[in-house]
Amino acid sequence: MGKFVITKRANGEFQFNLKAGNGQTILTSEGYSTKAACLNGIESVKTNSKDDSKFDKKESSSGKFYFSLKASNGQIIGSSEMYESASGRDNGIESVKTNAPDASTDDQA
């Protein structure tokens, strides 16, 4: 089962990583000024990860593949790592869809 891990960045912002059951990070959030906003971001991932249309599949200028998950207002909630192939990216999306809805939260901030 997946897990959201909340940490504090060097600049004081909060962020979360969604980790799959194997411990691999599958989604990293933007920075949040408060822990409450970070927790709202986690809830937004849980809600929006059920909707295929919220995933924005992209290719970087270096030819690697990644995705972003957007909230209903169009704002990016989190982004993936870079993948070598489109199929790897698509597997990452499926992993977010599987792990996010029931993931626990580990507050390390």
Q: What is the CA 74 to chain-centroid distance, rounded?
A: 15
Residue 99 has pLDDT above 90, yes or no: yes
Tokens 């891990």 locate to 5
Residue 29 near residue 15, CB atoms below 8 Å: yes
**Burial (0-12, 13-18, 19+ Cβ within 10 Å), 61:** exposed
Domain segments of the chain as ranges = 3-107
Task: Output the CA angle 6-7-10, nearest 5 degrees.
Answer: 155
Q: Which two tokens stand for residue 11?
A: 């600049």
Q: Given 3.40.228.10, 3.40.50.2300, 2.30.29.80, 3.40.50.261, which CATH number is that of 3-107?
A: 2.30.29.80
**How sure is the predictor about 88, in pLDDT bands with cuts at 50, 70 and 90?**
very high
Q: Tell me: pLDDT of 89 over 90.
A: yes
**pLDDT digits over 10-68, tens only?**
999 999 999 999 999 999 999 999 999 999 999 999 999 999 999 999 999 999 999 99
pTM across the whole model: 0.93
Q: Does position 90 have pLDDT exceeding 90, yes or no?
A: yes
Q: Say what the pLDDT of residue 1 is.
A: 83
Check if the beta carbon of residue 80 is closer than 8 Å to that of residue 6.
no
